[in-house]
Every structure is written in C-alpha cells, then in structure tokens.
C-alpha cells in the first residue's frame, strides 16, 4: 500500500515499511507538515481499531507541542484500542489518576534500582549471550543478541523463573501482534492474566525484591493496587520493555556496522557509547509514530484539525527535522547533542527510557569486550524496515574472539 499527497505527487510512502519512509517524511515537512492523512496501514486492523479521521504531524515543533499538551492531544484513545489486550494502563490515563499510577510504578525504574540491576542482572545477561557466540566466528546478531537480551532482562527484572522464558517470549510477541492478529493478541492477554495472577499470589505469600514484588506492595492513598491494575501494567511492560529496546539496539548496531569508521571510534573510546545511543535513536527511531486524539478543534500551520480526530505524531520525521539538525539524514555520532523525542515528551514520556539506555550500553560493552574485527556481511534482507516499528530483519556478522 502507498499513499501520497495528491495524484501528481511522485513522493510516495510504502506503508508496508519495506521502503524507506524518510524521503516522504522530508517532503511532508517541507510542503505539508500538518496533513490530513495517515502513514499507517490499517488494512489488517479490526474495524473497531480503525479511526474515522486521521491526521499526521511531521515537523519537530508540531510533534513536540502535541506531546506536551495532553489536554488537547489526549492519549485516552488507547482505552479503546490496545486496552483490548493490555487492560487499562497509564497510557490512557490523565490527571490525578495518571500522576498517582505513574509515580507508583516509576519507583520500579528509579536510579537506585538501575544502579543495582546493571551489575547484578543486565551485565551478566549480555555477557552470557555474547559468550555463547564468540567462538563461532559468525552470527546473526538479531537472533542471538538484540532479540534475546531485552527479553531475558525483562523476565529477570520481573522475577520470572528462567525455565518460563520460552512461554514469556511467545506470549509477549503474540500480545503485541494485535493489529495484525487480534485473536492471537486476545488469547495471549488472557494467558498472561492467568500467568501474572499466579506470580502476584506467590508474592503475597512470600515477598520478593523484583518489579512484581514492588507492584504488589505499592499503595496509592493507602490502598494497594488491584490485581487488574498490576496485571495491566505488567502486560504494558512487554511492548515497552521488549519491542522498542530490541528494535532500537538492532538499529544502532546496524548503523554502526554500516559506518565502520564510527564503529571503530566507539570500540576504541567507550565514552562515545552514550552519544552513539542518542544518535541511533534520533536517526532510526524504533517507533516512528504515536497516536493521539484531539479533544477540541485545534489549529496548526493554518490547518484546523477537528475534535475527535486521531493525530499521528510522527517522531521518525520530527527527529530528522532539518530546522533542528543540520544534515539530518546523516548518521553522525559526533554531531553536537540536541535532544530528540524518540521517547516522546510530556506526561507520557517513556518510563523505561533510562533502562533502555543502560541495557543498550551494556550490550555494546559486552560485545566490544568479547569480540574483535566485527564486520557486517549483509545479504538482501539486511536493512532496517517497518512501520510503525522499525528495525533490521537480520544482522549477519563475522568476528574474532578477543584475546
């Protein structure tokens, strides 16, 4: 499926995501930054999840403004879409309810927790994964590393038994397939509810120091969270903790491997890892669009978006806005730092963004410590694809074990 601005427009968008969307995004930023149209392919979505009217924002200022104005650009539309499988979560809350629930679950991602998790959980998992491949001389890093480490880290932080990993992985990815296979998503949602309820009940009998334990013991205004609230948040962690981290880390590895000079610079100076992570998130944002619903008519760039419209905030376009980043279509880890919005903005800014950064840094460090002469050996499938989620299909590499 392709879309364009008018019948005479040669700049087309392949909504399957197999062709790069960035020429289309650049064209729209320059010609129609507020557009009545969609970059999403809803052909596989159930009727109840297809918006009646859609708009898309492409420039940084408009996207940033919409993220910051939750009163006008509301996220409550999630309550009628992905809430079908996740349940009611902080994504669809606002006001005091959102503040209370976010403050509570944010404690599970506080800096003190990250300081403990990194050496105790994250580093050993990344080291183990690279140790499993380092003697082979070749591997697909998507299959062996980027897909695996966020799955194992999330399961460990939740306190799930290691022998449940295959079940956890299967249910996680069935859950986030809702737009393409709602039946699989609903089945996974029900199975995860039963599974997490058992985990919650185990912690009520014997408390543990993990994310589920934190949620079970947490209180809002003196009241403990309901089972439904705990389970909904745990289901939300799956796409948040697995999908985006696996994709963003794969994107960064692909970009470094396809820019060997920058790869060598990061290998030789690990102090460049934070800059590389931020540039990877900017250049190839793993989730290129986030939906909001207008609560009233709103004017942007001389266009009036009516109340009740779904508005796609195109972070993938905003993060390449030429008015903010010189030469934005160039991947450059040495460029002057300028904050991006890959993790959104405003009250719904990603709770797990610091964890994602720590995980990706640990993965790169483990890889660089354990192998040398890392080189991409691409085939026809080796490229970053997808809409709205983007990541490489594979990352075939060769290497030598470090001395």
Work out the percent of the chain whose per-residue pLDDT is above 90: 52
User: Which is nearest to 75 in space by CA: 304, 340, 347, 390?
Assistant: 347
Q: What is the pLDDT of residue 15?
A: 81
Stronger pLDDT, 57 or 42, i.e. the higher one:
57
Query: Which are the contacts of 194, defined by CB distance < 8 A and separation ≥ 6?
Result: none
Q: What is the pLDDT of residue 364?
A: 97
Give the Cβ contact number of residue 119 at 10 Å.
10
Q: Residue ranges per domain, the chain? A: 2-401
Give the Cβ contact number of residue 242 at 10 Å.
22
The residues pairing with 385 across neighbouring beta strands, listed in sequence order, are 391
Lookup: tokens for 279: 């540039």
Geometric angle at alpha carbon 387, from 381 and 234, rounded to 5°: 105
State how far the Cα of 203 lies from the Cα of 214, in Å rounded to an integer.
10
Q: What is the pLDDT of residue 7?
A: 45
Lookup: tokens for 322: 């030429």
The CATH architecture to which 2-401 belongs is Orthogonal Bundle (1.10)
| Positive or negative torsion for Cα 259, 262, 268, 272 | negative
On whether the CB atoms of residues 215 and 230 are closer than 8 A, the answer is: yes
Stronger pLDDT, 368 or 187, i.e. the higher one:
368
- CA within 13 Å, CB half, 169: 13
Work out the percent of the chain whose per-residue pLDDT is above 70: 86
Lookup: tokens for 240: 């948040």
State how far the Cα of 331 lies from the Cα of 262, in Å rounded to an integer.
9
User: Which is nearest to 219 in space by CA: 351, 302, 101, 353?
Assistant: 101
Q: Dihedral, CA atoms, 343, 109, 93, 320, nearest 10 degrees?
A: 0
Q: What is the pLDDT of residue 203?
A: 92
Q: Tokens 């989730």, residue? A: 287
Q: Record the pTM.
A: 0.90
Has residue 346 got a pLDDT over 90?
Answer: no
Lowest mean pLDDT among 78-87, 208-217, 359-368: 78-87
Has residue 131 got a pLDDT over 70?
Answer: yes
Geometric angle at alpha carbon 44, from 344 and 389, rounded to 5°: 30
State mean pLDDT over 332-350: 90
State how far the Cα of 217 lies from the Cα of 320, in Å rounded to an integer.
43
Query: Which are the contacts of 4, defined by CB distance < 8 A and separation ≥ 6?
Result: 10, 11, 12, 13
370-394 pLDDT per residue, tens: 999 999 999 989 999 998 889 999 9
Q: What is the pLDDT of residue 9?
A: 55
Q: Dihedral, CA atoms, 41, 48, 342, 328, nearest 10 degrees?
A: 30
The residues pairing with 312 across neighbouring beta strands, listed in sequence order, are 56, 291
286-307 pLDDT per residue, tens: 999 999 999 999 999 999 999 9
On whether the CB atoms of residues 314 and 63 are closer than 8 A, the answer is: yes
Lookup: tokens for 13: 């968008």
| 49 pLDDT tier (thresholds 50, 70, 90) | low
Stronger pLDDT, 313 or 243, i.e. the higher one:
313
């Amino acid at each position: 499926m392709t879309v364009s601005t008018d019948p005479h427009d040669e700049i087309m968008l392949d909504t399957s995501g197999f062709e790069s969307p960035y020429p289309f995004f650049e064209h729209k930023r320059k010609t129609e930054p507020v557009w009545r149209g969609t970059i999403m392919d809803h052909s596989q979505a159930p009727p109840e999840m297809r918006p009646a009217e859609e708009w898309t924002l492409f420039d940084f200022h408009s996207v940033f403004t919409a993220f910051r104005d939750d009163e006008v650009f509301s996220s409550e539309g999630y309550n009628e879409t992905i809430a079908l499988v996740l349940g009611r979560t902080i994504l669809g809350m606002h006001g005091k309810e959102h503040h209370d629930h976010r403050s509570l679950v944010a404690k599970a991602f506080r800096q003190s927790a990250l300081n403990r998790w990194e050496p105790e959980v994250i580093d050993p998992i990344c080291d183990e994964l690279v140790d499993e491949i380092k003697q082979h001389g070749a591997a697909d890093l998507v299959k062996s590393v980027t897909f695996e480490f966020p799955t194992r880290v999330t399961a460990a932080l939740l306190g799930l038994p290691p022998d449940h990993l295959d079940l956890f992985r299967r249910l996680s990815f069935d859950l986030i397939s809702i737009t393409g296979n709602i039946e699989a998503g609903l089945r996974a949602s029900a199975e995860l509810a039963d599974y997490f309820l058992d985990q919650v009940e185990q912690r009520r009998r014997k408390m543990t120091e993990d994310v589920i334990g934190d949620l079970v013991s947490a209180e809002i205004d003196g009241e403990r969270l309901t089972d439904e609230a705990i389970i909904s948040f745990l289901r939300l962690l799956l796409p948040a903790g697995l999908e985006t981290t696996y994709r963003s880390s794969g994107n960064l590895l692909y970009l470094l491997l396809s820019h060997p000079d920058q790869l060598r610079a990061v290998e030789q100076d690990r102090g460049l890892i934070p800059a590389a992570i931020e540039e990877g998130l900017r250049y190839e944002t793993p989730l290129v669009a986030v939906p909001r619903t207008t609560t009233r008519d709103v004017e942007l760039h001389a266009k009036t978006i009516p109340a009740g419209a779904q508005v796609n905030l195109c972070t993938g376009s905003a993060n390449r806005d030429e008015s903010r980043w010189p030469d934005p279509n160039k991947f450059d880890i040495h460029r002057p730092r300028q904050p991006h919005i890959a993790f959104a903005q405003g009250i719904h800014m990603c709770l797990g963004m610091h964890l994602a950064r720590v995980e990706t840094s640990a993965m790169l460090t483990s890889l660089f410590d354990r192998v040398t002469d890392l080189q991409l050996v691409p085939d026809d499938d080796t490229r970053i694809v997808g809409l709205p989620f983007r990541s490489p299909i594979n990352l075939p590499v060769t290497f030598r074990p470090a001395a």
